[in-house]
Amino acid sequence: MWHFRNIILVPSPPRGEGTGNVRVPDWVRSCYDGGLVHFSTPFLCGLVIKMSQPPILVKVHQNLGTISIHREEKRNALTRAMVFDLIQAFRDLHGERKVRAVVLTGGGSAFCSGLCLEEMNAIVKEDDNFDRWHQDTSSLAELLQLMLQFPKPIISAVNGPAMGFGAGLVLASDIVIAGPEATLGFPEPKRGIVSGLCTPLLHFRTGGRHAARLLLTGETITAERAVQIGAYDEIIPTKNLWAYAAELTKQIAQSAPQAIQLTKKHLNETVGEQLEMLISLGAAASATSRTTEAAKEGLAAFVEKREPEWK
């Protein structure tokens, strides 16, 4: 599966005779599966595509699909564009018949630190920005609902901190394995905004008491504590996460695909419609909270690396 982003066309080395094929160099194959790409368009014949690693990288290895988040310099904070890419990634893997499970993970030392607050700080300064916020939170709700409705098991391999909406991605997964350094938290109120999208999922996975403490204090908990309250399933050495996810996929693949799909549907249907409705309501609450003076102050304080001054 190939996603062409940030492409640069450069002349290819001499080709074998009678082909429209271009061999992908080793430095590309290190990030992408495959060796040959066929171009039927005459203009593209004789050119190779040089690709920088996209922030959302999708791979398929045998019956396992992998979606990894790569914005390591910002601890994998999600931009608006990356959210759309995640939606598309799940849609793409939905259509891959050989894929029996999908692993979601992060590059570097973090899983996902949430949404890009620098980007949000720029939007919060705009006049009449409610429509922008509504569009953004609707997209976030779409992503979570897509994960809940996804017909194949989603395994979150939490390699590092999962914060804010990053923690929401974990909670929308079916199985969660985490490394020892995989802390979890919902710091949104400290930024003047509401974690409306993740609240229903946190309540669903951990119960009302644990959800209330995490959301009202904004505290960050350890991986061990996350297992105790039900946010994570188990802790695995970080270096073994992918191998363990592959082993889980082997176990899943022993069952009929239709049976797994119906089982997942039944698991989520116990609260399905109500949960999706609450996520949609949470999206509206999140959008509204981002139009407030508190949001302006909280986001500005984060960007300026100072403590917020609440009024």
Q: Which of 289, 28, 247 is nearest to 133 (CA)?
A: 289
Q: Tell me the C-alpha distance between 272 and 145, whole Å.
A: 10
Contact 172, 205 (CB under 8 A): no
Bridge partners, 50 (sequence order): 8
Point out the catalytic residue in the list 17, 96, 188, 273. 188
Measured between alpha carbons, how far is residue 168 from residues 9, 76, 229, 279 in Å? 38, 14, 15, 11
Q: Tell me the C-alpha distance between 2 and 47, whole Å.
A: 16
Q: Any idea which residue has 């079916």 for tokens?
A: 174
Contact 164, 187 (CB under 8 A): yes
> Element (H or E) spanning 10, and its range?
strand 7-11
Task: Answer yes or no: 188 catalytic.
Answer: yes
> Would you state the torsion angle of the CA atoms of residues 168, 169, 173, 176, taken in this order, to the nearest 10 degrees?
-90
Q: Tell me the C-alpha distance between 106 and 277, whole Å.
A: 28
SS3 content of the chain, % helix, strand, coil (to 5): 45, 15, 35
Q: Name the residue type at position 311.
A: K
Q: Are strands 220-221 and 234-235 parallel, antiparallel or unpaired?
A: unpaired
Q: Which of 226, 179, 198 is nearest to 282 (CA)?
A: 198
Give the catalytic positions in this structure: 188
